[in-house]
Amino acid sequence: MAILKDMECDGHERVVYCRDDSVGLRAIIAIHSTVLGPALGGVRMWPYASSKEALRDVLRLAQAMTYKAAVAGLPLGGGKAVIIGDPQRKKTEGLLRAFGRAVEGLNGRYLTAEDVGMTVADMEIVRKETKHVTGTSEKKGGSGDPSYPTAKGVLYAIETCLKEMYGDPSVRNRTVAIQGVGKVGYPLGELLATAGARVILSDTDPQRAMLARREFEAWRVEPDEILQVECDVLSPCALGGVLNRKTIPKLRCRAIAGGANNQLENPSDARRLEERGILYAPDYVVNAGGIMNILVGLQGGRKGYDRAKAEGLLRQIPDTLHAIFSKARAEGLTTAQAADSLAEARLQEASAQKMDAGARRAVPLRGRTGRTRVRR
């Protein structure tokens, strides 16, 4: 019942449970909103402890996608999918294709892409069953893995935080701590190291951590230490919920800007960060580079993907963040509240426009009783 209440409160349009015993598929697709466009959001494969945990995750992630697209001014709605299972052991062609059929069944209201536990190669398999797949290989005319543009957007967000704090956006000789050097964290580390930043990193996969440490000449710390290292900017690039009542008192960073979705365990954690004087760049603003890139791929159609256009969109992330920081200061809001407020204003405006357009399209009809009725 509590979960149904979450769905009601957050206003999800549709939630679908997909099951195919022949290939071991257990998946949930959540469409939070299609007010601004089709619901776009990646599919995450993760060994959730229960269906309930998976449902909670997908509901929160789908809602964040709606806000991400809205605040970035993109004509996209928000959705997300989760496949329950360990991607190392349970991912098979049959399972991916069964997931593709479930996506196809939604007739384009939900567009999928890769997320944690999925790769561009996996999405090519999903594509055998549905065309509603984004972020497929550039060689095949797609916009490619969204992770690199996401990482670039995170870099721009880190620079924006530095500008806000020190008046200078340069990362040179600044210290950035990255939690998780996966598809987003790894290229982010490379970009930072190339620009002269001091990088501290950790990953629960020791091999990835060692490789990144060598490649970027970074410092490596254990996963349970990364949130407590002294740094200018902490960049969570692993999973959500890392900023909470237990971790926030121990942080030793000046700002937070990372690629992970849903970094705050609870909305009230934004106020906790503010009280500690830590500048928080809202996660869904920082990590919008991936969906910006996907949108450019979708709009390219047969002409294909336009890299310059994608870079132009990424360059808007600093402007959006500056607007959020200013609004938060002016109105006494946390930066998370300021971002939500900008996103909600855009959603309300789009809903109102849709209703207006619907009313204008309404055709007066003569009902059988002779009274006028309206057809939409």
Whole-angstrom CA distances from 197 to 189, 193, 217, 272, 333 are 9, 5, 11, 28, 31
Q: Count Cβ atoms within 10 A of the Cβ of residue 65 and give its class: 0-12 exposed, 13-18 middle, 19 or more buried.
A: buried
Q: How far is the CB of 263 from ligand NAD (least distance, A)?
A: 8
The minimum distance between CB 291 and ligand NAD, in angstroms, equals: 7
Query: Which CB sits closer to ligand NAD, 205 or 275?
Result: 205
Binding site residues, ligand NAD, CB under 6 A? 115-116, 146-147, 150, 179-185, 202-205, 208, 223, 237-240, 259-261, 287, 290
Q: 214, exposed or middle or buried, with CB in 10 Å at 0-12, 13-18, 19+?
A: exposed
Which residues fall within 8 angstroms of residue 306, CB to CB, at 6 or more apart?
296, 300
At residue 219, φ and ψ (nearest 5 deg) are -95, 140
Matching residue, tokens 């001014």? 73
Q: Which residues are catalytic?
A: 80
The distance of closest approach from Cβ of residue 201 to ligand NAD in the complex, given in angstroms and rounded to an integer, is 9
SS3 193: helix
Closer residue to ligand NAD in complex, CB, 208/327: 208
Comparing CB distances to ligand NAD, the nearer of 150 and 160 is 150
Cβ(259)–Cβ(150) below 8 Å? yes
Residues forming beta bridges with residue 230, ordered by sequence position: 252
Closest by CA position to 80, among listed 21, 138, 14: 14
Work out how close the CB of 119 gets to ligand NAD at its nearest, in angstroms, rounded to a whole number: 9
CB nearer to ligand NAD: give 136 or 202: 202
Which of 230/331 has CB closer to ligand NAD?
Answer: 230
Residue nearest ligand NAD by beta-carbon distance: 182
**Least distance (Å) between residue 179 CB and ligand NAD:** 5
How many other C-beta atoms are found inside a 10 Å radius of the C-beta of residue 74?
Answer: 20
